[in-house]
Structure 1
Amino acid sequence: MTNSVQLVQAALNGDRVHPAVPHTPDEIAADTVAAVAAGAQSVHVHVFDDEGRQTLAADHVAKVLRAIRASSPHTPISLTTSADVEADPASRLRAIEAWTKLPDLVTANQGEDGITDLCELLAGRGVGIEAGLLSFGDAQAFVASGSARWCVRVMVEPLDADPHAALAQAEAIEELVTGAGIPLGQVHHGDGIASWSVNQRAVALGHGIRTGLEDTPVLPGGRQARDNADCVVAAIAMLDR
Structure 2
Amino acid sequence: MFLKAAVNGGRSKDECPATPLTPGEIAADTAAVLAAGADVVHFHVREADGGQTIRPGALAEVLGAIRAVAPDAVVGTTTGLWTCSGPEERYALVKAWEVLPDFASVAFGEEGAAETAALVVERGMVLESAVWTMDDVPALLASATLHDNVRILIEPVEEDPAEAVAAAQAMAARIRAAGVTCPILYHGDGPTVWPLVRAALADGHQTRIGFEDGTELPGGGPAADNAELVRAVRALAAGA
Q: Please, what TM-score do these two structures have when normalized by structure 2? A: 0.95
> Can you list the C-alpha shifts for 1:142-198, whole angstroms capped at 9, x where unaligned?
113343133111011113221111101111110110011111111111111311111
Provide the residue aligned with 1:7 in structure 2.
2
Match of 1:67 among 43, 55, 65: 65
Match of 2:204 among 188, 203, 206: 206
> Can you list the C-alpha shifts for 1:105-155, whole angstroms capped at 9, x where unaligned?
011001111111111111011101111111111222211334313311101
State the structure with bigger RCO (CA 8 A, min sep 6), 1 or 2: 1
Provide the residue aligned with 1:56 in structure 2.
54
Provide the residue aligned with 1:132 in structure 2.
130
| Whole-angstrom distance in 2 between the partners of 1:54 and 1:205 | 33
What are the within-5 Å matches in structure 2 for residues 217-232 of structure 1? 217-232=215-230
CA contact (8 A) 2:7 2:211 kept: yes
* Cα drift, residue 37 of structure 1: 1.0
CA contact (8 A) 1:193 1:218 kept: no
| Whole-angstrom distance in 2 between the partners of 1:104 and 1:179 | 29
What are the within-5 Å matches in structure 2 for residues 70-81 of structure 1? 70-81=68-79
| Whole-angstrom distance in 2 between the partners of 1:86 and 1:36 | 29
Provide the residue aligned with 1:182 in structure 2.
180
Provide the residue aligned with 1:29 in structure 2.
27
CA contact (8 A) 2:118 2:144 kept: no
In structure 2, runs of 5+ residues without a counterpart are none
| Whole-angstrom distance in 1 between the partners of 2:165 and 2:92 | 36
| Whole-angstrom distance in 2 between the partners of 1:41 and 1:66 | 19
CA contact (8 A) 2:54 2:94 kept: yes
- Equivalent residues, number: 236
Q: RMSD between aligned alpha carbons?
A: 1.2
Match of 1:108 among 97, 106, 126: 106
What are the within-5 Å matches in structure 2 for residues 86-105 of structure 1? 86-105=84-103
Q: What fraction of aligned residue pairs are identical, expressed as a percent?
A: 39
| Whole-angstrom distance in 2 between the partners of 1:24 and 1:118 | 26
| Whole-angstrom distance in 2 between the partners of 1:79 and 1:234 | 23
* Cα drift, residue 87 of structure 1: 4.2
For residue 44 of structure 2, what is the amino acid of its counterpart? H
Match of 1:167 among 160, 165, 168: 165
**Aligned to 2:130, what secondary structure does the other structure show?**
strand
> Can you list the C-alpha shifts for 1:62-113, whole angstroms capped at 9, x where unaligned?
0001111111111110101011212410011111111000000011001111
Q: Please, what TM-score do these two structures have when normalized by structure 1? A: 0.94
Match of 2:147 among 128, 146, 149: 149
